[in-house]
Amino acid sequence: MSESMSLTSRSTEMGKPSVTLVTEAYNLAEGQSEASFLRALQTVLQIGQRHPSVEVIVLDPTREHVAAPILAERFPQLKALHVPGMTYDGQKNAAARVAQGEFLVFLDGDCVPQSDDWLNVILAPFAQPHVHAVGGLTIYEGDDVTSKAMTVMDFGFLFEPDAQGHLGCYASNNVAFRRSAYLSVMAPDDGVMRSYCYKHAQLLARAGTPVHAHHDAKVFHELPDVRKERLRRGYDHAAALWEDPVLDGASQIAQDEAFIEAVMAEQAAMAFSRLKTAPAFLGIGPDQKEAVRQEMVRLLELDRQGLVEALAQGEADGSNARTRAAHAAEASRLRAARRSMGRRLLERFRLTPAR
């Protein structure tokens, strides 16, 4: 998109910003390096300086206000929004409520854009009035096999938009919205999962505002603590079913070896399939593909440990049983609805049901 057409440089009514760019200190509290957080702050500061119509908000959800001294000393130009105790998605919802921009862009504090023009790139699809949300592509930094394996495992869903170019899930660290669309369908933030990007993407699609994939808008993500991240990913396999019992697998969730094996077989098949179709820019050549595959096997074992721990918790606190019951109740409701619809059709056309 040329500078003359740039959404980030256009003027708006009464001097209001056209774009609100949001970053956060949530990951800093979770163990992100301060160096990468400083790099992210420098990035959003430079974007704001290049584009006067961009409002920058730095979220700090920590009760200790860990970002405050950093901003005061190094980045006094940046605006902080203190939201102590809020969840990962809750803090983003808070930013959406106070944002002044027509467009809302999220770039997490452990991510930096691949190019200086990233903001214009991720906003470019909004030139089409039917586009309400745009998801970019996130890649773990590093040329080692662990970074590449985790990129495929954790962000491989971004490689595979549907036939209309829509994403079933977006990466919360690299995504943009028309603020009006976001406020109409806020991200869920009241459950046990860290991030509800999948559920939010599904709700947006049902509302007629799906997330459009835009692979040209790339960001680099600091590689997190590998063991901690894998255990969390494994936990989330169970937590997703607790949160949404209509999903496949909810009827079988249990601290049971057969269920665990079924989940992990599905995850392995998905990871290896995405490895085969990984984009060329990831640099996984034929000579490295087997090494990346073997690293995936190791990482999947850590995911398995996280799943096992989650299922044990779910068995103890009743989450597994409640999920099975909720799934059964929903299945029964759908069967009853289908029978009722069938009877109405028979009555409408005066047909006799088969005996």
Assess contact for 57 and 99: CB atoms under 8 A: yes
Task: Give pLDDT tens digits along the chain (355 positions).
Answer: 433 335 444 444 445 679 999 999 888 777 778 888 999 999 999 998 888 899 999 999 988 888 888 999 999 989 889 999 899 999 999 999 999 999 999 999 999 999 999 999 999 999 999 999 999 999 999 999 999 999 999 999 999 899 999 999 999 999 999 999 999 999 998 878 889 999 999 999 999 999 999 999 999 999 999 999 999 999 999 999 998 898 889 999 999 999 999 999 999 999 999 999 898 889 998 889 999 999 999 999 999 999 999 999 999 999 999 999 999 998 888 777 777 665 665 666 655 555 4
pLDDT value, residue 350: 58
pLDDT of residue 342: 59
DSSP, residue by residue, 283-342: ---HHHHHHHHHHHHHHHHHHHHHHHHHHHHHHHHTHHHHHHHHHHHHHHHHHHHHHHHH
Residue with structure tokens 């109409």?
184
CA-wise closest residue to 238 among 270, 199, 202, 193: 193
Q: Please, are residues 310 and 234 in contact by the beta-carbon 8 Å criterion?
A: yes
Rounded Cα–Cα distance for residues 316 and 249 (Å): 19
Q: Both tokens of residue 13?
A: 């009514």
- What pLDDT is stored for residue 352 in this prediction? 53
* pLDDT for res 351: 56
Q: What is the pTM of this model?
A: 0.86
Name the maximum alpha-carbon separation found in the chain: 80
- Taken in order 83, 87, 91, 94, the sign of the CA dihedral is negative
The one-character DSSP state at 352 is P
Cβ neighbours around 353 below 10 Å, total: 7
Strands (E), 61-121: 79-82, 103-107, 111-113
Residue 109's contacts (CB-CB under 8 Å, 6 or more residues apart) are 23, 24, 25, 26, 27, 28, 32, 36, 37, 40, 41, 58
Given this model, what pLDDT does residue 343 score? 63
